[in-house]
Structures are given as C-alpha cells and as structure tokens.
Structure 1
C-alpha cells in the first residue's frame, strides 16, 4: 500500500465561509459536530496514478506532463478504427454512393460543430466526459445515465473492432472466431492497464506504420487505375431521397460520441497559459473535433473499397468486411498471399490502436458509473477487465451482423445527450444562464439537474418513438437529428428559467490561493480544485473520498427542516401505518413502469433485429406473463432500498448521538477544570493586585515623577484592570447561582446598557417599542456587551470602521437577540470552535467570552450560535425563551 494510515490536519486558508458548519439554536438545522473520519486506504493500483490516471478526478497540473503534440498524436491514434470503413461500406450497399457522400459531408459538419465546445471545456477544465457532463446540466446522479450511454458506446465499438480482428485472423491463418475474439481482447490489456503513459508511447510507435499501410493501396490504385474513382462515383444504387439520406445520417450520428474518447486524452492538455494560443488551439481542435475530418475520409474510403471489391468480383457479404476490402485493395499491387498478409497486419495494427483507446475510455466511464451506483471504487483496472469481458460476450452474440440497426437505435440516445450538453456549453454558458466553470464534485452538485436530464429525456423519448415508426417513415429516418434538436431546445428553455443558481446544491467553498490541501480521510494532498469542505466531518476532503462517503447521506446539501406543529387532522393519523406508505407505493409503481418500459424497449429492439416476434398474441402473452415478475422485482428493489436507507439513518443517528455525547463530555470536563481553578486563582490574585494598586496610587502622587514614569504608571494601571477583568470572568464562569429574573423594557434597557460602552456610537439598535423580556439583567447585559466587544474587534481586525447592528427578533415563545458586525468573517475551523472554552484568536484574550455568552443563554433555557459568517461580516445570536 502506498496510502498513509494517519491523517495530518492543516489549518484551512481563509475564504468564503458561507456554507461552513455552524452551531444552531434548537429547532433549526443543527449541523453534526465534526465526526472523526475513518481513515480510508486504497488498493495499490488505485493509489498508483500511472494506472488510475485520475479516473474520477480532474487531471492536476503535475500530471499533465505531455506536450500538445503527444496529446494530439495519441488522440488521433484512437480514430484508426476500421468500423468507419465498414460503416461506409454498409451505407453504400444500402443507400448508394451519392447518399453516403452527402451524409458524410453533413454529418461531419454537424459532428465538428457539436464537438468543439465539448473539447474546449474539457481541455480548459481538465475533466473527462463524465465529469464534464455532471457540471454541464445533468447533476451528480443524473450524469450516471449518460455514463451508461457512453459506456455502452465504448463496449459496442470494442466488440465491433474485436470482430474485425477475429475475421482477419480467420481469413489469414484460419483461426476459429471464438479464439480470435479472445486474442483480440487479451492483446489489449497490457497497453490499456498503464493508462496514458503506455498508450501515448504505443500510439507514437505505431502511427507511421499505420498511416503508410492505410494509404498504400489508395496510392497504388490511383497510379494503376485512375478511373477507379470515376467508376465509384458513377456506381448505381438506390435513388437518392430524403429517406435514404436521413437513414445514412442517422447511422453516422452515432459516431458523435467519439468525442468522449478524444476528451479522455484532451484533459491532459497543459494549461493554456503555458504556451502560445496557436499551439493550444491547434492541439485542442486536432485532437478534439478534428477527428471527424479523418474519420469522414475513412468512411468514404470504405465506400470506395467495397465498390472496388465488388466490381472485381468479390461477394458483397465478404467485401463489406474490412479484411475483404483491404485484401482486394492490396492485390492491385501485390500477389494474393502477400496482399492478405499486408491486409491482416494493417487490420491488426489499426484495431489494436483503437481498442486500446476503447478499453481505456470504457474503464474510465465504468469507474464513474459504478462509483455513483455503489459508492465503491475497486480501481480502474477492475472495470477494465469488466469492460473487455462484456465486449467479448457481445462478439460471441454476433453484434457485427446487426451493425446498422444497433447504431441507428443507439444514435437517438447519444444525440439526445449531446443536444442537452451542447445547449449548456455552447448556448447557456455564453448567455450567462449557466456557471462559467465546470463543477464536478458531489458536495456541490444536485443529484439531478433538470436542464440536462430533462432535455435528454424529452429528446431521447421523441427520438426513439420516431425511430420505432409511430410518425411514419420520413420522421423515422431523421429521428436522431430530431432527438438532438428537441433535447437542445428543451435544455435551453429549462436552463434559461432555472439560471446559474440551479446548478449548485450549495455554494462551493473557496480554499483561497493555497497550492495543495490535505484530505482528512485518505491523508493525501490534492490541488484545491479537487477538494471540498465537508460539513459532516468539518474538514476538507478530496473529491474521491467525498464521492465514496457512505455515512453522510448528502448532509451538506440538506435544507433546514421547517418546524411544524401538528394540525388537528395530523393528530388523528393512524400511526400503525407508516407515514411513508404512499411514498413507497409511488416508488413501487414508478419502478414497475420503468421495468415495463425497459422490457418493451428490449422487445422492440429484438423485433427489429430478429424475425418471428410479430404475432400480437405473442406480444400480449409476453407482457402479461412478465408483469407479475416485474412487479415482484419492483417491490424488492424499493424495499431493499428502503431497508438500506433506514439502516443508514439509524447509523447516522447513532453517530450523531455518540459525537454529541463525546463533545459534551469533553466540554463538561473542561468546564469543571476551569471552575475548580477559577476560585483558587481569583483568591490568590486579589490580594497581590490590591497591594499593587495601592502602591501605584501612592507613586502617582509623588511630585518627582517625570513624563516617562507617568507612562509607566498608566501602563501598570491598564494591566491591573486587565487582570481584574480576567479574575471577574473566571469567577463568573465558576458561579452556579440561580438567575434573578426581572421583566425589563427591552429597548430602554439596551439603551441604558450601551450608554457607557466605548462602541456605543457604532451600534445601530433595531428593537420594537414596548417589547418586554423576562431575564437576569446583569448576566444578559454581560453577554450582549461581550458580543458587541467581539463585533468591534472583528471590524477593527479587518481594518474597517466598526458598524454593529443590534437587533431583536420576536418568535413564538422565544426572543432572539442578534449582534452583526462588518468584519472579515470566520473561517470554518474557527467557526466550529467559537464557543469552546479557553479557545481564542486574540493576542490578549482568555477564551471565555463566548463560552460565557452561551452559558448565560443556557441558564435562561436558550442557546447561542453563529447565525452566518462571510466576507461581509458575522452575525451572532442568542435566544431567551419566554418565562413559564
């Protein structure tokens, strides 16, 4: 293990403390009193960032050590996949050359435009596709839906590329397909395990051979048969129409999510400020949206090669496969044996290059997906193995034979996602209706953001419905672009109404300008952009530990509970019935409907991929037979989740009681010690102070004292008064006498109390006329004047002219007195300890002022707390309940 097991705490830098923990009055949202976090350690491969590659974090500056050229070269190596040629061949056979060419042109323009803002923000924020989606309108849990879509994309294309490798090995060395699937899977692991470090080296070494072998047949054909391109363009095929064009574009639109794999490398781009703008923009565009310039050309290459192979007498079934088309292409320059060997080498080289990227991107996506679903992170390496295993299973199921149908269905969901994402990045952010920066940390994000989730849901629902043919063949052919447009417009409307504040569950904490901060759980130091302030533990923790935290139940994002008195009807509720019964019924119904819809989608997909499922009676029996099982599964899911939630709530309440008891015990022990010492100290110091005071008075009457001696005498008097005040505080702290309750006119009494105070000219009084309060006047006066002294000191420490607001708030059965200053605010660590005895930030303080204020409030049956604190000042409150 490389993780330390002991935590070291560092003081928090000053910053915005608006969402830091506070001590609250009874009935308000009382924060948890700083649990001691359980130290977390990770497996060695999780701790090794050469393997992990910051799978669940933003890429820090010290890990972005690759040059823009290496980043661009590595990213472009990931577009070597021959599925592009296969797609071009399939589209040509289905819709003709002209429809394929126009579709490639239009789809390339569309993909470039939609990918540009995604690549830009990922490179600027140094986050992968999932983290980008979280902060761009989907929320922390909402982005798990898109992670599932993106994970499916990487798995599908890994399987497609693996099938191409297996077909090449079957044709060249007669290796059975299932062995070819296994070889194509296992050969990827050594390169994908080490992440960007190994992948960049592998892509650098293989780039030139791949380019040479890929262009060689086209150069030979251009020299030996110049008319081949003319014959390709003149090839007969289905008549061009809106249906054929829409169908071809729908298949190509599924390639839009390739930008996710490009982003996985773009996040390592060095800071823009460290290089010229031309280098940064060039690398970002080339490695990002620029992939489609080469990708579109490869689709056209596949269209050309399949036409050439068929014209040379190859069967369409074999010509559509990359091994077939490239074998025939190499035969224009070499004999059949050498041509087959070169075609096999080229296919293996190209497919290994892309599947390394597919496996790497898939492991990142699955790490993010399962982290949110399970709050468990075994490491990217585990999900890499899971990824290749699922992909190998898809190869055995024959996914390649249904390539067009799979991509057409999938593209509706992919385009709905990208439509909502594009709306946020390219429209809402420039308009100021979305935050400028990408926030990815769990502590600050809502679970679901309706901007992205709502837009994707509407676009995906409409797109899939249209693809299933409910509105005719024309809209069916154009369903993916329609899904994109609806998702984009919906997200723009929702985002415009919601505004930037809707993107945050609470205000992000500003850690200031400190370079690094230690995580209180894993004890590692991370850049501030990767840290959050946890109000559950009252300490800074890293984003990964925040995501893995199972105990807090998103405590930091909970709104204060509203105290409500039960009405007459509520008092008649039958308490033997769970008050959450209707909530559970709705949950069961929602899960049941979701399972039913999912089952229906699977059936409809199977209907388009197979035959024999068109009998209406079969469909009816299928759904009726499945409904009871789905209902039982829905009940099981909801109740299992309910049991888990109740267990966590019980644990949270137990931890709360334990922590409060521990703090109260420690506080009482400290108070008892202070009380025992106070009486002794006061008795032992009174007599010496009296003697010193008398001696000073005698010395002050000596006519021979000079100016310097007078200053010394004045200094002695000030220190005597200071010592006397400390003794008075200690004595008052040790006293346990009863309150002398008197009813006072609160406004008149406060005016009289402030009349002799040095800060009276800086105090603004806001107290209603005629308000009366039953209290111990002497003790309450001490508490209020102490708060005013602290307020004046806070303003002076911030080098501001003191402005103190003393106000009284009347609530049912309680009076709240507030003292607000215009100081610099209290950092969270100081705010949490404000009322601890003997804790002070003043050079000449004792640390008993605020504890005495709290004791005065508690002796009246109330409480004292920090209401708010920020750059504009701090507000302290104490409550005095009405006398019975």
Structure 2
C-alpha cells in the first residue's frame, strides 16, 4: 500500500502514468480516489464507518423539501409521496451498498463493471457530481439564511463563508471526515430532537393541525400529487453514492463480525432514507406550525432556520433560541457539505483522469465543485428548489435504478453480468450498451415527460417512467447482446488469488513496475509489456497504452 509520498523518479521506466501517479503526493491525502480501498487503510470498525456515513445526512435540505411538497400538495399527499420515494430508494440502495462494502469500491468503480464500461460511466459521474453541487448549494443557502437572521451577515457573504469553510476539512479525506462526523453527531441530534419533542408536548393540537393541512390546492388525496411529491424526494436517490464513499472503507467481512458488518451496511447504506424521510415529515410539521401560529409564517415556512427558531422560542429566551438555531444550521451545513465537496471531488477526478489520462489530484476538483455550488447560491437557486430537484430526479433515478437492476437481475437472476465488479482499464469495454443506453433512454424520456412532452396526463409520473424503464431496459439489452460487452478480458494475467478464504478482496501486496510502489492485489493487473504487474492508476494514466492488456 502507498502510505508515503510517491516519488516520480523512483524507477527509470516511469512514464507519463508514473508522473500522473506522483501528483497524488500521498494516497492518504488522496483517499484512494481512483482505486480500490486497500485493507491496510481500512482500520475503522463497522460502527465508526456507519456513524461517519450517517453524519453525511445531517443536511437541512430535507426539512425544506418536506415543507415545499407539503405546502404545495398537503400533508397526506406529501407523506405518501415521501414513503413511495423511500421504498424505491431503499430497495435500489441495498445491492449498491453491499457491493461497495464487500468489494471496497466507490459507486463509479462499481458502475463501470455493472453495465456501463470503462468510459461509459463518465456519464453517470457527471450526474453524481451534479448532485453534489446542487445539494452543496442548497445547504449553503440555508446556512446563509441562518447567518443573515442571527448575525446580520449579507446573503452574498454568507454564501461565500459557507463555501470556503469546508475546504480545509475536506483536504484529509476519510481520516478527518470520520472524526468530524462522529464528534458532531450527538450535538446535532440533541439540537434537532429536543425542540421537536417539546413542541409536540407543549402544543398537542399542532399534531391535528398538521394532519389536517390540505396545502395550496386544498384538495384530498391525489395519485398525481403523490407522484409529484415522490418525484422531488427521489432527487435524493443519488445520496446512496455519498453513503458508499464511506462504506467502501468497511473492514473485511468475517464470521466474527458478520452481524455488525451487515447492520452497519444496511443502516448506513440504504437505511439512510428512513432518517431522511423522517426529517422531511418533521420539516412539513414545523412548516405547518409556522403557518398556523406565526404572523407571516407562510413566507418563511420552508426555511429550516425559521422552523427551528420558532420551536426553540417556545423553550427559551429569543437570544438563546437564535443562537442555538444558528449553531444547528452551521453544524448541519458543515456535516453535509464536507461530504458533498469530498464526493464531488471523487466524481470529477475519476472522469477527468479517464478522459485525459492525466491525474491532477483530488483537491483541484474540490475547488471546482465548490465554485459551481457558490455560483448557484449567488443565483438564488433556493427559490427554484422544487423545479431543480424534480428535473434532476429523473437522471438520478435512471442511473441508480439501472445499476441496481444490473446487479439484481442481470448478475444474480440471468447470470449475464459478472458477479465480481470490474473497474480496471483494459479489462472492460469502453462502453457497455446495457447501462449506457438504459440511462440515456430512461433519463431522456422521463425528462421529456417532466416538461410535458408526453402529454399533461403523464407529466406527474416522470419519476415512475424513469424507474420502470431503468428496471426493464438493462435485462432486455443484456439478453439482446448476450452479455458480451461486460468484460473485454476474462483474466488480468496475474496468478495471485483475488479473494481470501472469506471471500474478501485479498490483502496480498504486489509491486507496480510502472511507478515502483506497492498495492494490494485487487488494484493490480499484468502489464502488457510483460515486465510484471501494474497498478490501476498507472494504467488509467498510461497515455501510450503500452501497459493496457489486449482484448481476449
């Protein structure tokens, strides 16, 4: 494993691939951005990894989402929509979380081998990167609202502060993020939970008011309203990719830790959605309380800082309530936006390196992602929240459901897709039509429906169109192509076993002949030069292709 600085002149045979690898400076700092996470680095217990992953769902956007869909469609329709979305997110998240924790790969590396191909998953990386900066901007906007209310900071300055403050925290990757998430979670839970419990006890009638709330349209239960609400919530389906950025650091699964391992994977993987759904319902509850009890409450009901301020004021003096509301907003924003910045940097770096054969380092794209989010904040994207999320949901659904369908149907039922996920250059075709075409068709048609292109009758059901097509198309295309575009080669040319006796990726270490460093077996493959083995990053940055194994 590379734990020290990589020297660009460590081997006379080093080529452009070694230069690219050297720019990583330290695999600890770069956090295994483009490769398998080695066992020697994964020293956290399952509970620590799970807590770190769940810390990333501390965002306050859920409260805004729940408030927005409830204000528009009413409590009953909103709750049903939240539950529909949660069910879809949970079912599709299980196989993805398992693959990440079992094989220690992020979702991009899984996506490559599960239906998209080596370059085909660049498409889904852009979809995921968009998720990270959209929600970074949303959380930054909420923090700026809190700073303006509590400290009088202008919004533009609040946007800048919320963007810049996370950058130093993201530099050191999982080591720093795990500590941050574990240490801040108890305080965050206390600040969020106590005022809600007090409000329900002190004003029990607020529960009935909440349940009876009909929304802007004032109607009853409507299937189209439920689907519109679910569509907004389904924009969060890509959150599983951020959970996976933590779950890839799970320790090896053994008979001794099996129960704790599975509990951590399910709770911190697809299980995040239950916490998210609860937060959305709480957000709507607080919004209805503001509308019913605070003068002018309707205009601020979807802003989390006002939601919690109103709850705190029932318990304590205004100055203390304001202080705690601002503290809650700041802690929440830091907890989620370090994850957004971190995950976004992984996605952009993956795509850039594959396309250009050049590795600039993860920090370049931390800055890039934060800059895009800052521009969105300054453009006041908060006012267009429902439209942005409703549109984005179609693309996110197409990606996540397609990968889940490939794993569940094509791998385990039809056995057309290889069980072990492959991510290394040379082992995969450039593009696999199974996933690539499925996302384009499912995402494209659902977006057309979202904008009314398939008629007003189908417009509310664009998320369902995306789900159905993403479930059906991968097996149809896999059968039509007989699964021939998954693997370009059936062997990586190394005699070493890939897995240990428990089915975990092997911890055996092999020298890389290109950069001269040492990496664990799953990250290595034979070099086409015949001189030995080469690591996945050196192959990825090999501009001449001299290390890339031929098709076989």
* RMSD (Å), alpha carbons: 1.9
Q: Do structure 1's residue 521 and structure 2's residue 514 form an aligned pair?
A: yes
Q: CA deviation at 1:4?
A: 3.5
For residue 398 of structure 1, the aligned residue among 363, 380, 402 is: 380
Tell whether the 8 Å contact from 2:345 to 2:366 is kept in structure 1 after alignment: yes
- Pair 1:348-2:351 in alignment: no
Residue number in structure 1 paired with 2:33: 55
Structure 2 partner of 1:385: 367
Which residue is equivalent to 1:242? Answer: 223
Give 1:64 shift.
0.5
Query: Is 2:31–2:173's contact at 8 Å kept on the other side of the alignment?
Result: yes
How far apart, in 2, do the equivalents of 1:59 and 1:499 lie? 32
Q: Specify the SS of the correspondent of 1:81.
A: coil
Contact 2:125 2:347 in 1 (8 A): yes
For the residues of structure 1 that align with 2:18 and 2:95, how far apart are their CA atoms?
37
The answer to whether the 8 A contact 2:427-2:487 is kept is yes
For the 8 Å contact 1:417–1:484, the answer to whether it is kept is no
Contact 1:43 1:378 in 2 (8 A): no
Greater Cα offset, 481-490 or 435-444: 481-490
Structure 2 distance, partners of 1:471, 1:43, is 48
Give the deviation of 1:353 after TM superposition.
0.6
Match among 540, 545, 551 for residue 544 of structure 2: 551
Whether 2:258 is the aligned partner of 1:277: answer: yes
Q: What SS does the aligned partner of 1:319 have?
A: coil
Task: Please state whether the residue corresponding to 1:73 is helix, strand or coil.
Answer: helix
Conserved? CA contact 2:17–2:542, under 8 Å: no
The equivalent residue for 1:2 is 5
- Kindly indicate whether residue 237 of structure 2 is the aligned counterpart of residue 256 of structure 1: yes
- Name the residue aligned to 2:504: none
Contact 1:119 1:289 in 2 (8 A): yes
Counterparts of 2:485 and 2:256 in 1: how far apart (Å)? 35
Larger displacement relative to structure 2 (232-241 or 403-412): 232-241
Q: Aligned equivalents of 1:37 and 1:355: distance in 2? A: 37
1:546, 1:329 → 2: CA distance? 56
Structure 1 position 337, deviation (Å): 2.1
1:424/1:39 Cα in 2 relative to 1: closer, same or farther (>3 Å)? closer
In structure 2, the residue matched to 1:267 is 248
SS of match in other structure, 1:473: coil
Q: Which residue of 1 aligns with 2:292?
A: 311
Measured in 1, the distance between the counterparts of 2:423 and 2:548 equals: 18
**Do the aligned residues in 1 keep the contact of 2:527 with 2:548 (CA within 8 Å)?**
no
Mean alpha-carbon deviation: is it higher for 288-297 or for 461-470?
A: 461-470
CA distance in 1, matches of 2:120, 2:22: 30
Cα deviation for residue 318 of structure 1 reads: 1.4
From 325, 339, 342, give the equivalent of 2:307: 325
Does structure 1 conserve the Cα–Cα contact (< 8 Å) formed by 2:527 and 2:547?
no
Are residue 223 (structure 1) and residue 201 (structure 2) matched? yes
Does the aligned pair in 1 maintain the 2:159–2:377 contact within 8 Å? yes
Secondary structure of the residue aligned to 2:510 is strand
- The whole-number CA distance in structure 2 between the counterparts of 1:481 and 1:554 is 44
Paired residues of 1:457 and 1:487 also in contact (CA < 8 A): no
Verify the 8 A CA contact 1:434 1:499 in the aligned structure 2. Answer: no
Give the deviation of 1:50 after TM superposition.
2.2
Separation in 2 of the partners of 1:37 and 1:57? 19
Offset at residue 178 of structure 1 (A): 1.1
Instruction: Give the deviation of 1:209 after TM superposition.
Output: 0.4
Determine if the alignment matches structure 1 residue 361 to structure 2 residue 361: no
In the alignment, which of 280, 300, 323 is matched to residue 299 of structure 1?
Answer: 280
**1:172–1:340 CA contact under 8 A, matched in 2:** yes
How far did 1:444 drift? 0.5
**Residue 540 of structure 1 pairs with residue 517 of structure 2:** no
Contact 1:68–1:279 (CA under 8 A) maintained in structure 2: yes
Query: Does 2:479 align with 1:496?
Result: yes
- Kept in 2, the 8 Å contact 1:119–1:263? The answer is yes
- The structure with the largest alpha-carbon Rg is 1
The 8 Å contact of residues 21 and 538 in structure 2, kept in 1 or not, is answered as no
- Could you report, residue by residue, the CA deviation over 1:577-600 in whole angstroms, capped at 9, with x for unpaired residues? xxxxxxxxxxxxxxxxxxxxxxxx
* 1:260-306 deviation line (CA, Å, top 9, x unaligned): 00000000001112643211100000110010111000000000000
**C-alpha distance in 2, partners of 1:66/1:558?**
38
Q: Quote how far apart the aligned CAs of 1:443 are.
A: 1.4
Show CA shifts across 1:697-727 (max 9, x none).
Answer: xxxxxxxxxxxxxxxxxxxxxxxxxxxxxxx
Which structure carries more relative contact order (alpha carbon 8 Å, separation 6+)?
2
1:137-176 equivalent positions in 2, closer than 5 A: 137-176=115-154
Structure 1 partner of 2:402: 420
Structure 1 counterpart SS, 2:485 = helix
Report the secondary structure of 1:442's partner residue: coil
Partner of 2:419: 436
1:169-194 Cα shifts (integer Å, max 9, x gaps): 01111101111111101111121111
Q: Is the 8 A contact 1:139 1:448 kept in 2?
A: yes
Q: Is the 8 A contact 2:85 2:233 kept in 1?
A: yes
| Equivalent-residue separation in structure 1 for 2:302 and 2:23 (angstroms) | 42
Q: Could you tell me how far apart the structure 1 residues matched to 2:237 and 2:86 are?
A: 9
Shift of 1:455: 1.0
Q: 1:510 to 1:124 in 2, by over 3 A?
A: farther
3-state SS, counterpart of residue 63 of structure 1: coil
| Distance (Å, rounded) in 1 between the aligned partners of 2:418 and 2:96 | 15
Cα contact 1:520–1:539 (8 A) shared by 2: yes
Gaps spanning 5+ residues in structure 1: where?
Answer: 10-34, 560-884
Question: Aligned pair in 2 of structure 1 residues 44, 453: CA closer, same or farther (>3 Å)?
Answer: closer
Between the aligned partners of 1:355 and 1:162, the Cα distance in structure 2 is 8
The structural deviation recorded for 1:389 is 1.3
Q: Which has the higher strand share?
A: 1
Give the Å deviation of 1:6.
5.3
| Residue 205 (structure 1) aligned to one of 158, 171, 183 | 183
Q: Which runs of 5+ in 2 are unaligned?
A: 498-507
Q: Report the CA distance shift for 1:264/1:274 in structure 2 as closer, same or farther (over 3 A).
A: farther
* 1:225 to partner: Cα distance: 1.2
- Once the two structures are TM-superposed, the CA of residue 7 in structure 1 deviates from its matched residue by 5.7
SS of the residue corresponding to residue 210 of structure 1 reads: helix
Secondary structure at the aligned position of 1:444 is classed as: coil
**TM-score of the pair, normalised by structure 2:** 0.93
1:38–1:244: structure 2 CA closer, same or farther, 3 Å change rule? closer
SS of equivalent residue, structure 2 residue 92: helix
